[in-house]
Amino acid sequence: MKCPSHQNFTSISRHYRAILRSCIRHADLDTGEKLHSLSITTGLTSDPNTCLTNALFQFYCSFGKTSHAHHLFDRIPHSHWDIVDWTTLMTCYARNGFPENTINLFVEMQSAGLRFDGVTVMCTCNACAKLGNLALGAQIHCYIIKLGLIIGVKECNSIMDMYVKCRKMEEAKRVFEEVTERSVVSWTVILGGVIKWEGVKSGWLLFNEMPERNEVAWTVMIAGFVENGFIAHAFSLLSEMIFEWKFNLNHVSLCSILSGCVQSGDVMIGEWIHVYALKEKGNEINIMVATALIDMYAKCGRIGRAEQVFKKMSYRNVVAWNSMLNGLAVHGRGKDVLNIFPQMVKEAKPDVLTFMSVLSACSHAGLVDQGRYYFNRLQSVYGIKPTIEHYACMVDLLGRAGFLEEADRLIMEMPMLPNEFVLGSLLGSCHVHGKFQLGECLMRKLVEIDPQNTEYHILLSNMYTMAGKKEKANSLRQVLTKKGERKIPGVSSIHVHGQVYQFTSGDKSHPQSSEIYVMLKEMIQRLRLAGYIPNTTCQNFSAYYNGEGNADAEEEKEQALFSHSEKLAICFGLLNTKPGVPLYIFKNLRICQDCHSAVKIISKIYNREITIRDRSRFHCFKQGLCSCGDHW
DNA sequence: TTAGGGTTAG
């Protein structure tokens, strides 16, 4: 090919830049990339002085292609770098999930002696907010005050947001007070913080004080109600926003509200959002909304609905696949995860999270060989360096299945130091499989790593109790008494007719309490007739914590078991729903062994499907069986 | 270049 003359270069380069600007405007990544290839083959970009490099850099930044953008940034001669180039790359990193790179660039920029401007403040504070990096955020704020720099409302808003995300409400409010011309964004930043850190009720008072409210403010308020289980309020606000104020929900609002549903476990609002999204967009829902729907349905116990949404998607990226795989994994559908995984490989490149779902699916379903198979191929076949989370999944898988020595060996071979999740998981397995020596050794290490956590003492003490080693169990109790620490109380929530009801162990605060306890008594009788034997082996600590000092009496232990929060929630559900209606319960801790076997029988004798989401997974009880197949 | 609400885990 004949080499174009310099004049040609300049004119072609000008055309290319115009096309790239148009690609940005029309979200046309494909054409821009083709143009980039063409510019390389024709030698247009060989001269780094050309403005084309800068245009390509801007182009990749606008599409969030961080590595391409950074490569081009490096190709711009350093003498040509200006503050716009720096902040464009920093914003690109902050927006696309790499806020630590934004911070690194900020530090680099400072050491290069460049002064920062308002945009630098905004994107760096945004990165600090995302990372919870209060130290740097506050430092930038102090620097601005010290130098007496005059900044506008936008910069103030990002500083406020940084404080809000770092849970420094007083500082955020102080900045808010100082802003003379507050915008709707200033108010919304504070609103979000108040809802999160001071409660949804305080947020509601503030929302009503706001001089102006746009769709973001409405979305924040609604999501706040949904997250906190105020479903009726959320519904009335949603209809006011849409029908009276004529606001639309965009894909961000939809995702935000769906994420609230996941927090509170409410599926009613989630279904409403699903219908809205279908009405707006027909059959093709935005990929992020569809992914949020999959996550919401899966985490609200409706795995079948999640699968329906997933199957209807015409294009599925790695995030969509991960949501589906994770949903199936927490529902104990390990075999399905392994069955659809080859399909995923054809459609998207599996990442770190994919394998966490695959390995935890194997773990929850007891598929040891398959787990080993994928773990051994992580690096060699999929090019993924195993993280500590992968090791934790693997230790969990091996430990649950009784391969404790293999799990222990794996911990020794790990290239990083084990954390409390890895060791805690193995201690749990020692508890199940009665391995004292290993258990004792693990607990010593765990106490060093995480001295505040009392769960490990409880586990080990229960192990001693089960083995009849009362002295050792008692000495551990004394350690806890000295420390004065208390166990996190178990709370179960149940959704009935769009309302959330919460129960703690032995709870008598509900207005229907007497009815609930009558129901409970009757239920225990029916359970006993059906062959249920209370499992009090792990009960000594609960009774102890309930303040029942003479907890040795078997009957007291049984009573404590009977009033576990999930049993109370089930009684409430049975009393307040029609026969055959499935019950959905959410628990903050792991379901105990006794409740697990009791609920299996309850599902049969009351002919109800009962789904319990505990801290780590779902248990769907149906006709005397649990979907976890007792692997948990 | 332009602040606030957003999808996968822990």
- Nucleotide with C1' nearest the A254 CA: B6
Among A112-116, A160-164, A401-405, the range scoring the smallest mean pLDDT is A112-116
In terms of Cβ atoms closer than 10 Å to its own Cβ (0-12, 13-18, 19+), residue A496 is middle
- Comparison of pLDDT for A558 and A49, the residue scoring more: A558
A499-514 burial, b at 16+ Cβ within 10 Å, e below that, comes to ebbbbbbebeeeeeee
Give the dihedral sign, CA A596/A597/A599/A604: positive
Residue A632 has pLDDT above 80, yes or no: no
Residue A17 Cα distances to A21, A36, A66, A92, A520, angstroms: 6, 10, 20, 20, 74
Q: Which nucleotide is nearest to A327 (CA to C1')?
A: B8
> What is the mean predicted confidence (pLDDT) over A382-409?
94
Q: How confident is the model at residue A551 (pLDDT cuts 50, 70, 90)?
A: very low
Q: Which residue is nearest to nucleotide B9 (CA to C1')?
A: A353
How many angstroms is C1' of B5 away from CA of A368? Answer: 42
C1’ B8 / CA A312, Å: 18
Q: Does A473 or A58 have the greater pLDDT score?
A: A58
Which residue has its C-alpha nearest to nucleotide B1's C1'? A88
Pairwise pLDDT comparison (A356 vs A616), residue with the higher score:
A356
- What is the reported pLDDT for A541? 46
User: Phi and psi at residue A285, in whole multiples of 5°?
Assistant: -85, 145
Give domain limits for chain A. Answer: 491-626
**CA–C1' A295–B7 (A):** 8
The answer on pLDDT for A1 being more than 50 is no
User: Chain-wide mean pLDDT for chain A?
Assistant: 87
Looking across all nucleic acid strands, the nucleotide with the smallest C1' to CA distance from residue A248 is B5
- Of A76-90, A262-276, A526-540, minimum mean pLDDT range: A526-540
Closest CA to the C1' of B6: that residue is: A252
The stretch A293-312 carries a mean pLDDT of 95
What digits encode the pLDDT tens for the residues A256-271? Answer: 999 999 988 889 999 9
Q: Residue A452 — pLDDT band, cuts 50, 70, 90?
A: confident
Closest protein residue to B3 (Cα–C1'): A154
Sign, CA torsion A260/A156/A85/A10: positive
Instruction: Summarize the confidence of residues A16-37 as an average pLDDT.
Output: 80
pLDDT in tens, A567-614: 999 999 999 999 999 999 999 888 888 899 999 999 999 999 999 998
Among the listed residues A258, A255, A327, the one whose alpha carbon sits nearest the alpha carbon of residue A288: A255
Sequence-distant (6+) residues with CB within 8 A of A595 are A561, A564, A566, A567
Q: How confident is the model at residue A358 (pLDDT cuts 50, 70, 90)?
A: very high
pLDDT, residue A590, reads: 85
Residue A543 is predicted with a pLDDT of: 39
Summarised one tens digit per residue, pLDDT across range A142-201 is 988 988 888 899 999 999 999 999 999 999 999 999 998 899 999 999 999 999 999 999
Which SS3 state, helix, strand or coil, does residue A1 take? Answer: coil
Q: Stated in angstroms, how far is A102 CA from B1 C1'?
A: 14
How distant is C1' of B1 from CA of A143, in Å?
22
A277 CA to B7 C1' distance (Å): 14
- How far, in Å, CA of A563 to CA of A513, rounded? 12
Give helix A455-466 / helix A470-483 axis angle, nearest 10°.
160
**Closest protein residue to B10 using CA and C1' atoms?**
A389
| Measured CA A389 to C1' B2 distance, in angstroms | 38
- The residues, any chain, with a CB within 8 Å of residue A332's CB and separated by 6 or more, are A364, A365, A617, A618, A619, A620, A627, A628, A629, A631
Strand B nucleotides, any atom under 7 Å to a protein CB: 1-10
Distance A626 CA to B2 C1' (A): 53
Name the nucleotide with the smallest C1'–CA separation from A161: B4
Distance in angstroms, CA of A233 to C1' of B7? 25
Structure-model confidence comparison of residues A621 and A78, the more confident one: A621
Our measurement of CA A164 to C1' B6, in angstroms, reads: 18
pLDDT band at A8 (very low <50, low <70, confident <90, very high): low
pLDDT of A7 above 90: no
Provide the pLDDT for residue A459. Answer: 74
**Closest to A194 in 3D by CA, of A180, A181, A210, A179:** A210
Nearest-nucleotide field for A87 (CA, C1') = B1
pLDDT band at A281 (very low <50, low <70, confident <90, very high): confident
Burial of A133 by CB count in 10 Å (0-12 exposed, 13-18 middle, 19+ buried)? buried
CA-to-C1' distance for A220 and B5, Å?
6
Q: For residue A289, what pLDDT is reported? A: 95
Q: Hey, what amino acid is at A460?
A: L
- Cross-strand partners of A167: none
Maximum mean pLDDT: which of A27-41, A326-340, A499-513? A326-340
Nucleotide showing the shortest C1' distance to residue A62 CA: B1
Q: Among all strands, which nt has the closest C1' to A286 (CA)?
A: B7
- Nearest nucleotide by C1' from A329 CA? B9
Q: Which nucleotide is nearest to A90 (CA to C1')?
A: B1
DSSP 8-state code for residue A196: I
What does the H/E/C string look like for A254-279?
A: HHHHHHHHHHHCCCHHHHHHHHHHHH
Query: Could you give the percent of chain A with pLDDT greater than 90?
Result: 55
Q: Which nucleotide is nearest to A184 (CA to C1')?
A: B4
What pLDDT does A225 receive? Answer: 93
Instruction: Assign A114 a pLDDT band (cuts: 50, 70, 90).
Output: confident
Distance A253 CA to B5 C1' (A): 6
- DSSP run (H or E) holding A177: helix A169-178
CA A571 to the chain's CA centroid: 30
**Model confidence at A545: pLDDT above 70:** no
DSSP states along A203-267:
HHHHHHH-S---HHHHHHHHHHHHHTT-HHHHHHHHHIIIIIS-PPP-HHHHHHHHHHHHHHT--
- The nucleotide minimizing the C1' distance to residue A617's CA is B9
The mean per-residue pLDDT over the stretch A322-351 comes to 95
Give me the CA A173–C1' B1 separation in Å, rounded: 27
The proportion of chain A whose per-residue pLDDT surpasses 70, expressed as a percent, equals: 94
What pLDDT is attached to residue A544? 40
- How far is A618 from A609, CA to CA, in rounded Å? 13
Residues 6+ apart with CB under 8 A from A310: A290, A294, A316, A320, A324
Q: Quick one: which residue's CA is nearest to B4's C1'? A: A185
The pLDDT of residue A485: 56
CA of A222 to C1' of B6 (A): 14
What Å value separates CA A185 and C1' B3?
7
Q: Cα dist. A503→A375, A564, A565, A572 in Å?
A: 40, 9, 5, 9
- When pLDDT is averaged across residues A281-309 and rounded to a whole number, the result is 92
- Rounded to whole angstroms, the Cα distance separating A620 from A625 reads 8
Closest nt to residue A94, judged CA to C1': B1
For residue A127, the model assigns a pLDDT of 94
Q: What is the mean pLDDT of residues A45-64?
A: 78
Residues A102 and A80: beta-carbon distance below 8 Å: no
Distances (CA, A) of A432 to A348, A468, A498, A600: 38, 15, 38, 20
